[in-house]
């Protein structure tokens, strides 16, 4: 029988630097940079997309303090030129990848789309001076009313699993394949099963060559991360998995092609609390269930869900509710790169939400702690382990200010995870994730879960 007493001998992760240095030189500056620069620049970027070159509309979408800079019209015009090229490259890519028949230039078209998308993302830098001198807000809040939340989720409040139940199993469309090192790369596309966040949903697949029934690792990314628009991003799953594992990276709700008009990637999660978290995580969970089902249809190998930060929370909630799903949608194991036992209380406990002053926005909209607590069950983790405890791996950072360490340990204790499945880093939110990927013991433990090649 497995020993399910947590923290008797958890795995202590090794860091690339002394942990105190990692926190001081990496985690704290990274969080500061996100709050001070990345989010305000993203808000200006989203405003530029929505304004289509109109200065007055831009100012309304990114309500900065002070006068309109004289160079803003020129910057918006340059932005529009880049946006049009990116849109054209995306249209070309969609037609080539999902059209029939396949053309010979798929790899070139894909690289062109990647470069155009990355160039568009880099246009945030056009507004650096604006963010420095005019105090562009990090988030444009549109907090919903009590009545709005009640109308959407009131009927399922006492049966939270119903909010996570896929309404159907959509047909998954498979793109043409591009040969890459060690295998092929292709994409999946399917309609959203959620009525709250539309699709289509995309997932990028890296499939090994010569493996008939590969195991599959499905990766969910963190907030603001759009890996499908930047092929140069390190493939997290490659660090976790063997080369004979199929890897799927899913496009998160409100990210990439599913970005909500007028918002940057993931912004509605923060901007529309307490509705946004339920919308995003319930949709993300359903999307993951659809992909698990597709994996079952195309391979007899095991299916593992993993994610970091926001992606980890989506995986946690998918696992929490998958017992109500068809068996073909349920994963065999999950790997949580940072975790919490109470998503809803991150409104008060997370350095990210406090940094954007979410509590003040909620209070200004009439939301008290008591009123918010009514909806906490909709984003609560399962009271007991939803999978066999030995099939759940968890990474926690002792100095994590985004998903606090104590909340992660409470989840591990509640789910009675065995010590060998808990990996503790002495760093913060970002360095702890990096250490988990660099320390091969997490990958080795995942390999033990998967066993030999199927």
pLDDT at res. 2: 46
152, 275 in Cβ contact below 8 A? yes
| Cα distances (Å, whole numbers) of residue 22 to 29, 163, 269, 430 | 10, 39, 28, 9
Instruction: State mean pLDDT over 366-372.
Output: 96
375, 274 in Cβ contact below 8 A? yes
Read off the tokens for 312.
């980890």
Residue 235 pLDDT > 60: no
Instruction: State mean pLDDT over 383-391.
Output: 97
Read off the tokens for 362.
């909620």
Return the minimum-mean-pLDDT range out of 140-144, 159-163, 231-235. Answer: 231-235
**Which tens digits make up the pLDDT trace of 110-136?**
999 999 999 999 999 999 998 888 889
Separation between Cα atoms, residue 276 and residue 164, nearest integer Å: 14
Q: Indicate the pLDDT class of residue 347, thresholds 50, 70 and 90.
A: confident
HSE-CB for 419 with a 13 A CA cutoff: 9
Length of the chain measured in residues? 454
127, 45 in Cβ contact below 8 A? yes
Q: What is the dihedral of CA 433, 332, 340, 257, to 10 degrees?
A: 70
Read off the tokens for 91.
């249209």
How deeply is 417 buried, as exposed, middle or buried, from its count of CB atoms within 10 A (0-12, 13-18, 19+)?
buried
206, 247 in Cβ contact below 8 A? yes
Q: Indicate the pLDDT class of residue 454, thresholds 50, 70 and 90.
A: very low
* Dihedral (CA of 108, 109, 115, 118) sign: negative
Separation between Cα atoms, residue 379 and residue 341, nearest integer Å: 10
How deeply is 95 buried, as exposed, middle or buried, from its count of CB atoms within 10 A (0-12, 13-18, 19+)?
exposed
Residue 33 pLDDT > 50: yes
Phi (first) and psi of residue 38, to 5 degrees: -60, -45
- Spatial neighbors of 245 by CB under 8 A, at least 6 apart, are 208, 214, 215, 216, 217, 237, 450
Phi (first) and psi of residue 287, to 5 degrees: -60, -45
Instruction: State mean pLDDT over 208-232.
Output: 85
Whole-prediction pTM: 0.94
Residue 403 pLDDT > 80: yes
Provide the pairing of β-strand 303-308 with 333-337. Answer: parallel
Separation between Cα atoms, residue 210 and residue 197, nearest integer Å: 37
Instruction: State mean pLDDT over 308-331.
Output: 97
Residue 254 pLDDT > 90: yes
Q: Which of 307, 326, 370, 365 is nearest to 344 (CA)?
A: 370
Instruction: State mean pLDDT over 19-44.
Output: 92
* 20 or 166, higher pLDDT: 166
Read off the tokens for 42.
């993203």
Q: Which of 381, 390, 396, 389 is nearest to 427 (CA)?
A: 396
Q: Is 55 helix (H, G, I), strand (E, B) or coil?
A: helix
**Which tens digits make up the pLDDT trace of 68-105?**
888 899 999 999 999 999 999 999 999 999 998 888 89
């Amino acid at each position: 029988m497995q020993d399910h007493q947590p923290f008797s001998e958890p795995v202590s992760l090794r860091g690339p630097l002394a942990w105190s240095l990692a926190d001081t030189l990496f985690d704290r500056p990274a969080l500061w940079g996100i709050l001070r620069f990345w989010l305000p620049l993203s808000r200006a970027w989203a405003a530029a997309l929505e304004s289509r070159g109109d200065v007055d509309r831009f100012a309304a979408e990114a309500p900065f303090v002070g006068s309109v800079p004289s160079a803003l019209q020129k910057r918006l015009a340059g932005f529009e030129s880049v946006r049009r090229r990116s849109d054209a490259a995306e249209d070309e890519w969609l037609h080539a990848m999902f059209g029939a028949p396949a053309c010979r230039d798929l790899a070139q078209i894909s690289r062109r789309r990647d470069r155009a998308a990355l160039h568009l993302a880099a246009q945030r830098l056009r507004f650096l001076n604006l963010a420095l001198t005019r105090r562009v807000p990090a988030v444009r809040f549109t907090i919903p009313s009590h009545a709005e939340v009640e109308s959407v989720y009131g009927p399922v409040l006492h049966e939270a699993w119903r909010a996570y139940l896929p309404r159907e199993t959509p047909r998954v469309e498979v793109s043409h394949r591009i040969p890459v090192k060690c295998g092929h790369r292709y994409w999946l596309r399917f309609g959203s099963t959620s009525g709250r966040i539309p699709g289509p949903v995309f997932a990028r697949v890296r499939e090994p060559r010569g493996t008939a029934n590969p195991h599959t690792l499905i990766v969910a990314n963190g907030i603001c991360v759009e890996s499908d628009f930047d092929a140069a991003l390190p493939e997290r799953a490659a660090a976790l998995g063997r080369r004979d594992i199929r890897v799927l990276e899913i496009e998160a709700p409100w990210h990439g092609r599913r970005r909500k008009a007028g918002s940057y990637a993931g912004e509605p999660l923060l901007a529309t609390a307490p509705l946004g978290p339920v919308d995003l995580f319930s949709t993300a969970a359903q999307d993951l269930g659809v992909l698990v089902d597709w994996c079952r249809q195309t391979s007899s190998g095991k299916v593992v869900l993993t994610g970091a930060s926001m992606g980890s929370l989506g995986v946690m909630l998918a696992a929490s509710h998958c017992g109500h799903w068809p068996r073909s949608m349920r994963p065999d194991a999950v790997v949580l790169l940072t975790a919490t036992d109470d998503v809803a209380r991150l409104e008060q406990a997370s350095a990210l939400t406090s940094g954007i002053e979410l509590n003040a926005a909620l209070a200004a909209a009439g939301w008290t702690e008591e009123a918010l607590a009514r909806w906490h069950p909709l984003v609560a983790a399962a009271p007991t382990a939803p999978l066999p405890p030995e099939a759940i791996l968890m990474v926690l950072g002792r100095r994590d200010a985004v998903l606090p360490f104590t909340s992660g340990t409470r989840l591990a204790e509640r789910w009675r995870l065995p010590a060998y499945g808990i990996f503790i880093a002495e760093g913060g939110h970002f360095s702890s994730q990096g250490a988990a990927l660099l320390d091969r013991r997490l990958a080795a433990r995942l390999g033990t879960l998967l066993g030999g090649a199927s």
